[in-house]
């Protein structure tokens, strides 16, 4: 082997190793998700844990989600107006606001905000339980951590995030309406009429499908990384970072795939 | 089957990476016996307990409880078999999201909210056995001192009245008086309730008080085991150095 080829081979070698490591991680996550679901369908069930998680993930995230939605809707209306005024197309404001919020901004921004709040909290809590042997203690007390800890989080996120996206969509549209009517001089009745005209069931369904995926990824990444944490406080910190970063990437990636498939 | 040991380890081996922590452990614990394991920090005592509980899977060897091979069991059978065990973790491992009374009764409720009044009563009874009053019932683990947490963890381990109890350093971090209360409790569990006890300790006074037999783990194997009375004249250089706490000797 000639010396000039060495760096090239090294380069492809490290790409190959990265690729294999990524495949192995996907495999582990898949096994983790499949284990949770297969255990969760058989009793014992923990409805009170599910309720607790619904409150944590859904109810207590509402202020953050509401603010995200109203600010984004308001900014979107202004941007559309400014851009549209160059082509005499300012009347597109209500349509663009409703389509932009329902199809993209609502689900994605809620997903990212909740991922920041919830994936990190889950990873930190489960990671701490792992490194302080609470998960081992749970097992010796004959309680399955997958049923008791993971399944309630996964299902709560699956239910709560789509509901929150619906709320965020409504608030986001209101944010746009507020700016359009009180700052940009739109007629209130006309604005709402146009909004209703462009708000379709298909778009709402797609928002719900997207957000169900996002919810699943948010809880899965939080639980998976927390469950695997090791190495004390530093390990819990790493798990938390990994959970948030991987949840962000999965949300943005799945959003792109679903959008490209739906409109392709 | 009177001669079947309660717990039997044969050639148990467990390595982390290249580091063989357990390297062929053979140990038999009889029904109703109180066995104490001694050994240096990091010698694999806690790992050994976790192997018996099925929390860590050994690379090789066999572990039998009442003659039944744990490693051949399905996940569900293992969960049933775990009803025999109580475990006091070295770091207490209390559930910090739950109040003390729900921690203590966790083995009975499996985390569900049921019979609160009855469960609080059971929790108070078990806490009393470890010298804690009912004023701690509604506190969280983080509101207790380390020694109190350890005693709550002990109450949690004994609450379901298991046949076998593992104590990982039960007296570490306790004052001498509290430590002796715990020693008395272990003796009482063994003598009066017929519990089989396996205790890890660095506390020689505790070992002398609670043990029927003592075994020493060194470099992944049991290098000596014998009755408590032979602990100080075992004739084994490793045991001698350990119990006398000398820096010079075969162990370094
Ligand atoms: N999950 C794990 N992964 C990797 N190594 C581990 C793991 N658990 C234990 N070890 C290693 O196994 C060895 C034995 O650990 P163990 O906790 O059994 O020691 P110990 O005898 O209980 O010590 P101590 O008296 O200090 O509690 C240590 O070197 C530890 O680093
Ligand atoms: Mg230990």
Q: What per-residue confidence (pLDDT) applies to B251?
A: 85
Domain count, chain A: 2
Nearest to B50 among A49, A136, A143 (CB): A136
Q: Which domain holds residue A120?
A: 47-263
Peptide bond into B225 cis (omega under 30): no
Q: Which atom of ligand 1 sits closest to the CA of residue B17?
A: 4
Sequence spans of domains, chain B: 7-244
* Domain-ending residue, one of A27, A42, A57: A42
Q: What per-residue confidence (pLDDT) applies to A10?
A: 85
pLDDT tier at A75 (50, 70, 90 boundaries)?
Answer: very high
Instruction: Using the predicted structure, report yes or no on whether residue A115 has a pLDDT greater than 90.
Output: yes
In this prediction, the residues of chain B whose per-residue pLDDT falls under 50 are 1
Instruction: Using the predicted structure, report yes or no on whether residue A116 has a pLDDT greater than 70.
Output: yes
Q: Looking at the structure, do residues A13 and A94 belong to the same domain, yes or no?
A: no
Q: What per-residue confidence (pLDDT) applies to A1?
A: 53
Q: Looking at the structure, do residues A22 and A61 belong to the same domain, yes or no?
A: no
Q: What per-residue confidence (pLDDT) applies to B114?
A: 82
Level-2 CATH architecture, domain B7-244? 3-Layer(aba) Sandwich (3.40)
- Given CB atoms, is A140 within the 8 Å cutoff of chain B? yes
pLDDT tier at A11 (50, 70, 90 boundaries)?
Answer: confident
Q: What per-residue confidence (pLDDT) applies to A55?
A: 96
Instruction: Using the predicted structure, report yes or no on whether residue A90 has a pLDDT greater than 90.
Output: no
Q: What per-residue confidence (pLDDT) applies to B2?
A: 55
Decide: residue B62, CB within 10 A, 0-12 exposed, 13-18 middle, 19+ buried. middle
The candidate with the shortest Cα–Cα distance to A131, out of A223, A225, A221, A227, is: A227
Q: Looking at the structure, do residues A19 and A136 belong to the same domain, yes or no?
A: no
Tens-digit pLDDT profile for residues A25-37 = 999 999 999 999 9
Q: What per-residue confidence (pLDDT) applies to A2?
A: 62
Protein residue with least CA distance to atom 16, ligand 1: B44
Q: What per-residue confidence (pLDDT) applies to A264?
A: 74
The whole-angstrom distance between A252's CA and the closest CA on chain B is 33
Q: Looking at the structure, do residues A77 and A195 belong to the same domain, yes or no?
A: yes
Q: What per-residue confidence (pLDDT) applies to A36?
A: 95
Query: Could you give phi then psi for residue B216, rounded to 5 degrees?
Result: -115, 130
Q: Looking at the structure, do residues A256 and A125 belong to the same domain, yes or no?
A: yes
Which ligand number lies closest to the CA of residue B43?
1
DSSP 8-state symbol, A4: G
The residue count of chain B comes to 252
CA distance B197 to B161: 12
Q: What per-residue confidence (pLDDT) applies to B1?
A: 47
């Amino acid at each position: 082997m000639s010396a000039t080829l060495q760096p090239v081979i090294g380069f492809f070698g490290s790409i190959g190793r990265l690729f294999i490591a990524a495949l192995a991680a996907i495999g582990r996550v898949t096994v983790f998700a499949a284990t949770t679901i297969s255990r969760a369908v058989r009793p014992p069930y923990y409805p009170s844990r599910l309720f607790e998680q619904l409150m944590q993930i859904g109810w207590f995230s509402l202020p953050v989600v509401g603010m995200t939605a109203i600010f984004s809707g308001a900014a979107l209306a202004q941007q559309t107006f400014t851009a549209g005024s160059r082509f005499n197309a300012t009347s597109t404001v209500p349509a663009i606001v409703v389509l932009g919020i329902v199809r993209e901004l609502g689900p994605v921004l809620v997903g990212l905000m909740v991922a920041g709040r919830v994936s990190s909290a889950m990873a930190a809590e489960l990671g701490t339980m792992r490194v302080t042997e609470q998960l081992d203690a749970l097992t010796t007390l004959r309680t399955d951590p997958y049923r008791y800890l993971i399944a309630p989080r996964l299902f709560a996120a699956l239910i709560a995030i789509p509901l929150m996206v619906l709320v965020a969509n409504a608030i986001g549209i209101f944010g746009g309406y507020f700016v359009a009517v009180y700052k940009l001089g739109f007629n209130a009745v006309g604005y709402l009429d146009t909004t209703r005209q462009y708000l379709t069931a298909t778009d709402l369904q797609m928002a719900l499908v997207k957000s169900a995926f996002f919810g699943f990824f948010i809880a899965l990444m939080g639980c998976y990384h927390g469950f695997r944490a090791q190495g004390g406080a530093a390990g819990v910190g790493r798990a938390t970072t990994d959970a948030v970063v991987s949840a962000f990437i999965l949300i943005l990636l799945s959003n792109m795939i679903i959008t490209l498939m739906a409109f392709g | 089957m009177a001669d079947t040991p309660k717990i039997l380890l044969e050639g148990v081996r467990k390595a982390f990476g290249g580091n063989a922590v357990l390297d062929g452990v053979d140990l038999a614990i009889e029904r109703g016996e109180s066995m104490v394991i001694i050994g240096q920090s990091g010698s694999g005592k806690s790992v050994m307990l976790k192997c018996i509980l099925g929390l860590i899977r050994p690379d090789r060897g066999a572990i039998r409880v009442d003659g039944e091979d744990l490693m051949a069991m399905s996940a569900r059978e293992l969960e049933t078999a775990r009803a025999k065990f109580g475990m006091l973790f070295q770091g207490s491992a209390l559930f910090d999201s739950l109040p003390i009374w729900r921690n203590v009764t966790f083995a009975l409720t499996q985390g569900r909210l049921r019979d609160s009044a009855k469960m609080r009563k059971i929790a108070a009874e078990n806490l009393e056995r470890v010298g804690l009053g009912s004023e701690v019932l509604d506190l969280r683990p983080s509101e207790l001192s380390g020694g109190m947490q350890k005693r709550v963890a002990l109450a949690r381990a004994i609450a379901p009245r298991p046949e076998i109890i593992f104590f990982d350093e039960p007296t570490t971090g306790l004052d001498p008086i509290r430590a002796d209360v715990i020693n008395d409790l272990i003796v009482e569990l063994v003598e009066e309730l017929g519990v089989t006890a396996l205790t890890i300790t660095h506390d020689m006074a505790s070992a002398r008080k609670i043990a029927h037999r003592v075994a020493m783990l060194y470099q992944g194997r049991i290098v000596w085991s014998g009755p408590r009375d032979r602990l100080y004249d075992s004739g084994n250089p490793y045991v001698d150095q350990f119990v006398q706490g000398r820096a010079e000797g075969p162990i370094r």
